[in-house]
Chains A and B, each alone.
Chain A
Amino acid sequence: MLKRNDARADKSNFVGKTVPRENARRLSQGRGRYVDDIAFRNLAHVAFVRSPHAHARILSIDTQAARAVPGVIDVITGQDIRSMCQPWVGVLGHFPGLKSAEQYPLAVDVARWHGEPVAVVLAESRALAEDGADLIEVEWEALPSVVDPETALESDAHVIHPELGDNLAFRLDLEKGEVDAAFASAAHIAEGTFHFGRHTGLTLEPRSIVADFDPALRQLTVHHSTQTPFQMQDVFARHFGLEEGSVRVIAPDVGGSFGLKLHVYGEEMAACALSIRHGRPVKFIADRLEAFQTDIHARDHRVKARMAVSAEGEILAMEVDDLTGIGPFSVYPRTSAVEGNQAIRLMGGPYRMPSYRGRLQVVFQNKTPMCQYRAVGHPVACAVTEGLVDQAAHALGIDPLEMRRRNVVTQDMYPHTSPTGYVFERLSHEECHARLAEMMNYERLRREQAEARERGVYRGIGFATFIEITNPGPAFYGVGGARISAQDGCVMKMEPSGDIRVMVSVTEQGQGTETIMAQIAATHLGVPLERVRVYTGDTQTSPYGGATWASRGAGIGGVAVMKTAEALKENLLTVAATILQAQPGELDISAGAVVSRASGEERMPLSELGRIAYFRPDTLPAGFHAELTAARHYVPQGYPFAFTNGVQASHLEVDIETGQVRLLDHWVVEDCGRIINPLLVDEQIRGGVVQGLGGALFEECLYSPEGQLLCGTMADYLTPMAAEMPDIHVGHVETPTETSPLGAKGVGEAGTAAAPAAVMNAINDALSPFGASVSRMPFTPERVLRALGKV
């Protein structure tokens, strides 16, 4: 009997199993439904007139010729849009001193970056809207531009927002321990300046929206390629003066997001404004040039840093000075201070280092706005820390992996607080390092490297230990006044067929959210996976919640689903007990049927329970009401956020004649707590690593000294392609978090966090016989040759 019980239970346990995504089947047949695939009647389209200058005053805009184009419906300038939309300012209360200026969907008097929209044409087709936009004459007065962050704070720098006084958007100073004493007593000081070029998310589906206003109901329905439907519902309601309940945001299939699709963009706001004005659906799909000019950019840091170490290789202190350029505005509503804030707080995070001094300066400049993108701040902190660790190890003659082993926070130290105030519940650095050394066969690789060097082949091995912030609670945005939900919710119902429908507030952009939620629901209810369907991404039908960002889907949304499943199960057992005249405690649900808890014997399939509860409640005792739907919400408590950890290693070859870097292999050992679906976790890691490799080797949004964006096509913005990418080997250590009953942390950003650091260290290892090194990302062949003194 017991055996049979186990077999049944096993059939209902899907957590931890590799389950392919149902969505992937649909998408692989070309049956996706992205915003641009949805048909609307009476659809109108927008095209924008954009600033050709990095910084210029708008003297006049002549829209007459555009209005005369047949098919053009309307033309709106920045001046016009002021009466159509409340402005916004990208500041939050928990970043004291953070400043930014008021923004409208279109630049009003002054355009502050190359590509900023200044006018919009509404027409019967996108082509006609573009025809109209071509005929708009703008008279400009060019203003001096601030391009390089290094010059933004100079006394003679042009102040981008005169009313703000200077170009300093935000400054933060952190100090802990005896920093000066540590540097005074150090056996060695490693030191360097690290540059992180601008890159961008480059979702393959560009930003897309169809806003559809019904004047009779004053109801705005927005189909939007977004990660955060509820946040956008709130934004649209407040800025267009609508009732929150009169705004419905639907995120259909979303073609990649990576943190790019949760910010407020002028183009989307203008599309809504025009739909409200004309009472018809309005579509905006960014073309690729518009994407490069207006999708948020990422990084743009210059970090000067040093690290004090003892003769035994113990890290005593770090001192860090981070200067980061965010474009002319702090982006709304999450602000552009978060990236720098995380960068300087994550420095040295994996290590026991007792003393730390960090300074962050966030400056305005005339480039595309910079804001949160996958692994916010992490790659910067990781590369600076790991770069200095390698330098110190090299100087002291300690093997780099050994150097890390000597310094990581060890098992006996948890819970541990970093000098920047991060609290780690429990991480697994030692185990991850051991696992990595074994997976990559480290010793053999070193021997092969030495042999290759004899032959004039320069290979390098680079490590990067990392921590990653996941499962953020209200400390992230809510405490600062942002109306961004920290909690997530789930509604679950059993239908007459016994099938389970799950509505959850976390969203899907390809990570596999819906599959993971189905696995959790099926497991905790005791039903076959194929009986569960999950729905996300519609503010009208999903419970309210924060949705998917900062790797919070599984760790927060997953718990909401788990708790809802437990509640629904209890309800169903009560119904079953009433029907069967048993005690609920004597029953259980397994493989889609009510069973006897003791024997595992089937008592009634859920479809029978459904039939009776929905269609024949007259057969149940008077006064009994079957509860067939349950709802629960969850917010993490105790810790402000969770941390995952791990280590990456890169193996590569540098051609010292051409400066080309060839990636040979890449390893990741990570610990995201309880793994819900190993297949999906591994693919999140791989995708994340490749985005990190892109930032390290290829991707850069280049500007002329005057602030002209030089990469407007995918041909001149290089991204990783299949042939250049290595195989990525993924290993796991599982340390469940006790703060969440599900034990899962997030995994979306770990790959991106440490891949650039591992590559940098590997290149520098390869170049070490020449005494050369690189620290300016991306590491293009030219930069490698420069380091070698060849150009």
Chain B
Amino acid sequence: MDSVFPITLTLNGRTVTHDAPQRMTLADFLRQTVGLTATHIGCEHGVCGACTVYVDGRIARGCLMFAIQAEGCDIRTLEGLADDERMQALQKHFHARNALQCGFCTSGMLLTAHQYLGSQEEPSREEAREYLSGNYCRCTGYQAIVEATLAASDELAAKAGCKDEEAGRAEA
């Protein structure tokens, strides 16, 4: 039997403590121990991106980390971004643009797109394609994903523009 260790981490904004077998990956820990199944497992060797989660503010592959390595980390999964404005815009446009079919890649794709839009003020089609290239999608052919990501970015920019304007008016 495996040796089991207690780990404490911040998961989607809350501190949680669980026992984790030594050899359990973070992805399995999230899915099996905690019961959060938005994080998917497509390869278990760090290539497909289905298991993408935020670790201390940067996206990482949940299958390439042991759960016990997440001790003290700040982990955020798709479930924990339900109220995030940027994620909501992405989800809205993924839905409208049919940027997912089977949906198995989608959580990972959304997290990668989320980090991309957070890091880039003026995303371009080419750059979005490049940025999303660490995530496999076997169903869509990617075009819809790229277009949905850009549409979300436009919407967020327009909203930010409105806010700036309002702020400007308020000052005047």
Q: Are A and B interaction partners?
A: yes
Chain B contacts for A707, CB-based, 8 A = none
Q: Contact partner of B43 among A254, A257, A713, A722, CB < 8 A? A: A713
Decide if B78 touches A687 in the complex (CB within 8 Å).
Answer: no
Decide if B42 touches A29 in the complex (CB within 8 Å).
Answer: no
In the complex, A773→B137 CA distance in Å?
31
Decide if B141 touches A725 in the complex (CB within 8 Å).
Answer: yes
Among A30-38, A267-275, A408-416, which stretch is in contact with chain B?
A30-38
> Chain B: which residue is nearest A716 at the CB level?
B47
Chain A contacts for B48, CB-based, 8 A = 204, 714
| Residue B133 interfacial (CB < 8 Å) | yes
In the complex, A713→B100 CA distance in Å?
24
| Given known A-B contacts A714-B48, A723-B133, A725-B129, A24 and B94 have beta carbons under 8 A apart | yes
Chain A contacts for B105, CB-based, 8 A = 204
Decide if A722 touches B142 in the complex (CB within 8 Å).
Answer: yes
The count of residues in chain A whose C-beta lies closer than 8 Å to any C-beta of chain B is: 60
Decide if B82 touches A29 in the complex (CB within 8 Å).
Answer: yes
Decide if A71 touches B140 in the complex (CB within 8 Å).
Answer: no
Tell me how far the C-beta of B60 lies from the nearest C-beta in chain A, rounded to whole angstroms. 17
Among B33-41, B153-161, B164-172, which stretch is in contact with chain A?
B33-41
Decide if B95 touches A723 in the complex (CB within 8 Å).
Answer: no
In the complex, A679→B39 CA distance in Å?
27
Tell me how far the C-beta of B147 lies from the nearest C-beta in chain A, rounded to whole angstroms. 9
Q: Please report the number of residue pairs spanning A and B whose Cβ atoms sit closer than 8 angstroms.
A: 173
Decide if A253 touches B133 in the complex (CB within 8 Å).
Answer: no
Query: How does the 8 Å CB contact mask read for B27-66 relative to A, with 1 for contact and 0 for none?
Result: 0000100010111111111011010000000000000000
> Chain B: which residue is nearest A124 at the CB level?
B1
Decide if B141 touches A686 in the complex (CB within 8 Å).
Answer: yes
| Residue A5 interfacial (CB < 8 Å) | no
Tell me how far the C-beta of B121 lies from the nearest C-beta in chain A, rounded to whole angstroms. 21
Chain B contacts for A202, CB-based, 8 A = 138
| Residue A484 interfacial (CB < 8 Å) | no
Q: Contact partner of A510 among B43, B95, B97, B101, CB < 8 A? A: B101
Decide if A21 touches B47 in the complex (CB within 8 Å).
Answer: no
> Chain B: which residue is nearest A254 at the CB level?
B102
Decide if B132 touches A24 in the complex (CB within 8 Å).
Answer: no
| Residue A256 interfacial (CB < 8 Å) | yes
| Residue A738 interfacial (CB < 8 Å) | no
Decide if A27 touches B106 in the complex (CB within 8 Å).
Answer: yes
Chain A contacts for B38, CB-based, 8 A = 29-32
Decide if B143 touches A256 in the complex (CB within 8 Å).
Answer: no
Chain B contacts for A727, CB-based, 8 A = 143
Decide if A28 touches B143 in the complex (CB within 8 Å).
Answer: no
Q: Which of B45, B130, B142 has the most CB of A within 10 A?
A: B142
| Given known A-B contacts A37-B37, A683-B144, A719-B136, A28 and B103 have beta carbons under 8 A apart | yes
In the complex, A679→B104 CA distance in Å?
20
Q: Contact partner of A687 among B37, B101, B104, CB < 8 A? A: B101
In the complex, A382→B144 CA distance in Å?
27
Chain B contacts for A691, CB-based, 8 A = 138
| Residue A680 interfacial (CB < 8 Å) | yes
| Residue B2 interfacial (CB < 8 Å) | yes
In the complex, A36→B104 CA distance in Å?
12
| Residue B79 interfacial (CB < 8 Å) | yes
| Given known A-B contacts A204-B48, A690-B141, A722-B146, A28 and B95 have beta carbons under 8 A apart | yes
In the complex, A312→B57 CA distance in Å?
66
Tell me how far the C-beta of A258 lies from the nearest C-beta in chain B, rounded to whole angstroms. 8
Decide if A28 touches B47 in the complex (CB within 8 Å).
Answer: no
In the complex, A25→B45 CA distance in Å?
28
> Chain B: which residue is nearest A727 at the CB level?
B143
Decide if B141 touches A205 in the complex (CB within 8 Å).
Answer: no
| Given known A-B contacts A24-B94, A71-B1, A204 and B47 have beta carbons under 8 A apart | no
Tell me how far the C-beta of A294 lies from the nearest C-beta in chain B, rounded to whole angstroms. 16
Tell me how far the C-beta of B102 lies from the nearest C-beta in chain A, rounded to whole angstroms. 3
Q: Which of B101, B129, B146 has the most CB of A within 10 A?
A: B101
Decide if B95 touches A20 in the complex (CB within 8 Å).
Answer: yes
| Residue A551 interfacial (CB < 8 Å) | no
| Residue B145 interfacial (CB < 8 Å) | yes
Decide if A679 touches B98 in the complex (CB within 8 Å).
Answer: yes
Q: Contact partner of A29 among B35, B47, B78, B144, CB < 8 A? A: B78
Chain B contacts for A288, CB-based, 8 A = 42-45
* 8 cross-chain pairs, A with B, having the tightest CB-CB distances, nearest first: A30-B38, A27-B103, A510-B101, A255-B104, A510-B102, A690-B141, A686-B141, A714-B47
User: Which A residues form the contact surface with B (CB < 8 A)?
Assistant: 20-21, 23-25, 27-34, 36-37, 39, 70-71, 127-128, 201-206, 253-258, 287-288, 509-512, 679-680, 683, 686-691, 713-715, 719-725, 727-728, 751
- Pull 16 A–B residue pairs with CB atoms less than 8 Å apart, ordered by A: A24-B103, A27-B102, A30-B39, A30-B78, A32-B38, A34-B104, A256-B102, A510-B100, A510-B139, A687-B140, A688-B141, A691-B138, A714-B42, A714-B45, A722-B129, A725-B141
* With A205-B102, A253-B103 already in contact, 20 other A-B pairs whose C-beta atoms are closer than 8 Å: A24-B94, A24-B98, A24-B100, A25-B95, A27-B100, A28-B100, A29-B78, A29-B91, A30-B106, A32-B37, A34-B40, A37-B37, A204-B137, A205-B40, A254-B102, A686-B141, A686-B143, A688-B141, A690-B142, A728-B143
